[in-house]
Structure 1
Amino acid sequence: MADQDDFEDSQFPDNDELIPYVTAGNLAQRNGAKVTLWGKVTKVSASEGFYVKTVDDQEVLVKLRRPLSDAVEGWYEISGVSQGKSILCEEYVPFSEEMTKNIDTEGHKALAKLLSALDDPWNLGDTGSGGLNGVTPME
């Protein structure tokens, strides 16, 4: 029988990679890096992809590797590579209507701003003996 860790790694092969959230305002600072942003579709372009308005009220072009096959509308979480004021999309995931009823754009904007100010926000320091001051791994 497979070990639980083996199952998780094969189910989510990239789960060790943390992709930072950005807004349009700090997208250019991450030029060439993988990023994730939230946006609401404003227009669709058959030749380019689609445009979204981000939580900081700016428009960003989401470039697609292949033409759209479905209609896009509403809010999406978009992951891809920053290209200045656009993003080369690797994945876009729609938010459900229920999720967008009370979407906290100010909170998400603050989170993205905080994460961009930290060099390595997920680094908890040395995880060797005593590194997490009493926190023990789950069994």
Structure 2
Amino acid sequence: MGDQDDFEDNQFPDNDEFVPYVTAGNLAQKNGAKVALWGKVTKVVGSEGFHVKTVDDQEVLIKLKRPINEPLEGWYEIHGVSQGKSVLCDEYVPFNEELSKNLDTEGHKALARLLAALDDPWNLGDDSSNTMNGVVPMDENY
């Protein structure tokens, strides 16, 4: 079992300079890795943490290391470690009112998809069955 832990550590080395933005849709792919997530608080569970709705309209549980002692509402950027369908939170930062009003959720979704594709260039996003559509063999006589 120790070898498996070492593998995961090597697969996702600690890197404080770049933490990829994810959505609920690609959170599970990053299991064990540091991630950043945008979400709007939908439900607070004092002892456990809180739930957010992500830019791709899915609920994610944000687990906290300490109970919440403040009211949470609105949009947050959450930093932590992916645990498949949840995030073990290191830090959460509230968006100010101005940013919340003009939030570009579609743009952020596209950014998260792009980052996932750059991390895994042959995985072009949500619809994996059609990743080769439009790709044609090169003409050898070219």
Is 1:90 the counterpart of 2:90 in the alignment? yes
Task: Please give the secondary structure, in 1, of the residue aligned with 2:108.
Answer: helix
Deviation at 1:47, TM superposition (A): 2.4
Structure-1 separation of matches of 2:118 and 2:15: 21
Long gaps (5+) in structure 2: 1-13, 122-142
One-letter amino acid of the structure 2 residue matched with residue 77 of structure 1: E
- Residue equivalent to 1:107: 107
One-letter amino acid of the structure 2 residue matched with residue 104 of structure 1: D
Matches within 5 A, 1:49-60: 49-60=49-60
Deviation at 1:83, TM superposition (A): 0.2
- Residue equivalent to 1:40: 40
TM-score normalised by L of structure 1: 0.74
Structure-2 separation of matches of 1:42 and 1:113: 24
One-letter amino acid of the structure 1 residue matched with residue 87 of structure 2: I
One-letter amino acid of the structure 2 residue matched with residue 69 of structure 1: N
Deviation at 1:119, TM superposition (A): 2.2
One-letter amino acid of the structure 1 residue matched with residue 40 of structure 2: K
What root-mean-square deviation, in Å, do the aligned CA atoms of Structure 1 and Structure 2 show? Answer: 1.8
- Residue equivalent to 1:23: 23
One-letter amino acid of the structure 2 residue matched with residue 46 of structure 1: G
* Structure ranking higher in helix proportion: 2
Task: Give the direction of change, closer, same or farther, for the CA distance of 1:34–1:24 in structure 2 (3 Å limit).
Answer: same
CA contact (8 A) 2:50 2:61 kept: yes
CA contact (8 A) 2:47 2:68 kept: no
One-letter amino acid of the structure 2 residue matched with residue 90 of structure 1: D
Task: Please give the secondary structure, in 1, of the residue aligned with 2:22.
Answer: coil
Structure-2 separation of matches of 1:54 and 1:115: 16
Task: Please give the secondary structure, in 2, of the residue aligned with 1:66.
Answer: coil
Long gaps (5+) in structure 1: 1-13, 122-139
Residues 92-132 of structure 1: per-residue CA shift (max 9 Å, x gap) = 000001111110000000000000111289xxxxxxxxxxx
One-letter amino acid of the structure 1 residue matched with residue 86 of structure 2: S
Q: Percent identity?
A: 79
- Residue equivalent to 1:127: none
